[in-house]
Amino acid sequence: MKNRYQYSNSNKRYYTLDYFYKTTFGKKVFKVSLNGGFTCPNKDGTKGRGGCIYCSKLGSGDFAGNINEDLITQFNKTKEILHKKWKDAVYIGYFQANTNTYAEIDVLKQKYEPIIALENVVGLNIATRPDAITEECLDYLEDLSKRTYLTIELGLQTIHEKTSKLINRGHDLKCFNEMVRKLRKRKINVVAHIINGLPYETKEMMIETVKHLNTLDINGIKIHMLHIIKNTKLNEIYQENPFPILTKEEYVDIVCDQLEILRPEIVVHRITGDPDKNDLVKPSWVLKKFCVLNDIDKELEKRRTYQGFRNSILNRVHERFCYYIKPNSLVIDATAGNGNDTLYISKIVEKGHVFGFDIQEQAIKNTKTLLEENNRNNITLYQENHVNMKKVLKDYVGKISLITFNLGYLPNGNKEISTKDIDTIEAVKVGLEMIHNKGIILITVYPGQEEGLKESIKLQEFLKNKNVIYYYNTENKKAPYLIELKKEPKKS
Q: Answer yes or no: are the C-beta atoms of 194 and 223 closer than 8 Å.
A: yes
The span from the CA of 222 to the CA of 31, in Å, is 14
Is 392 exposed, middle or buried (CB count within 10 Å of its CB: 0-12, 13-18, 19+)? middle
Q: Are residues 466 and 335 in the same domain?
A: yes
Starting at the edge strand found earlier in the chain, the sheet holding 481-486 runs 379-383, 353-358, 330-333, 400-406, 435-445, 481-486, 468-472
240 and 354 part of one domain = no
Q: Does 356 lie in the same domain as 216?
A: no
**Residues 245/226, Cβ–Cβ less than 8 Å:** yes
CATH number (domain holding residue 437): 3.40.50.150
* Residue 191 near residue 218 (C-beta atoms within 8 A): yes
Q: Which of 267, 292, 311 is the last residue of a domain?
A: 311
Alpha carbon distance 400, 435 (integer Å): 4
Is the same domain home to 275 and 327?
no
CATH number, domain at 205? 3.20.20.70
Residue 2 inside a domain? The answer is: no
Task: Tell me whether residue 12 is in a domain.
Answer: no
Whether 334 is in a domain gets the answer yes
**Helix (H) or strand (E) run with residue 116 in it:** helix 105-116
Question: Are 307 and 333 in the same domain?
Answer: no
What pLDDT, on the 0 to 100 scale, is given for residue 473? 83
Burial class (CB in 10 A: 0-12, 13-18, 19+), 133: buried
Give buried/exposed letters for 453-469 (b at 16+ CB in 10 A, else e).
eebbeebeeebeeeebe
CA angle at residue 402 from 400 to 408, to 5 degrees? 125
Q: How far is CA 19 from CA 27, 89, 237, 267, 394, in A?
A: 10, 14, 40, 9, 50
Q: What is the DSSP letter of 190?
A: E
Residues 256 and 349 in one domain: no
Boundary (domain end) residue, out of 258, 291, 311: 311
Q: Which domain holds residue 369?
A: 313-486
How many other CB atoms are found less than 10 A from the CB of residue 81?
11
Calpha distance 147→485 (Å, rounded): 57
Residues 280 and 416 in one domain: no
Residue 376 resides in a domain: yes
252 and 317 housed in the same domain: no
Same domain (yes/no): 21, 65: yes
Q: How many domains does the chain have?
A: 2
Q: Is residue 278 part of a domain?
A: yes
Nearest residue to 213 (alpha-carbon basis) of 159, 165, 174 = 159
The reply to whether 147 and 132 lie within a common domain is: yes
DSSP 259-283: HHHS-TTSEEEESS----TTTEEE-
Task: In whole angstroms, give the CA distance from residue 77 to residue 124.
Answer: 17
Are residue 288 and residue 397 in the same domain, yes or no?
Answer: no
What is the C-alpha separation between 179 and 192, in angstroms, rounded?
A: 11
Weakly modelled stretches of the chain, pLDDT under 50 = 1-3, 410, 412-415
Burial class (CB in 10 A: 0-12, 13-18, 19+), 413: middle
- Are 386 and 349 spatial neighbours (Cβ–Cβ below 8 Å)? no
Q: 164, 176 in Cβ contact below 8 A?
A: no
Q: What is the DSSP letter of 444?
A: E
325 and 250, same structural domain?
no
- The beta strand positions in 423-467, using DSSP E, are 435-445
Q: Which value, to the nearest 10 degrees, does the dihedral of the CA atoms of residues 207, 297, 219, 115 take?
A: 130
DSSP letter (8 states) at residue 418:
B
Q: Answer whether residue 46 is part of any domain.
A: yes
Asked if residues 185 and 234 have their Cβ atoms less than 8 Å apart, the reply is no
Q: Which of 277, 311, 345 is the last residue of a domain?
A: 311
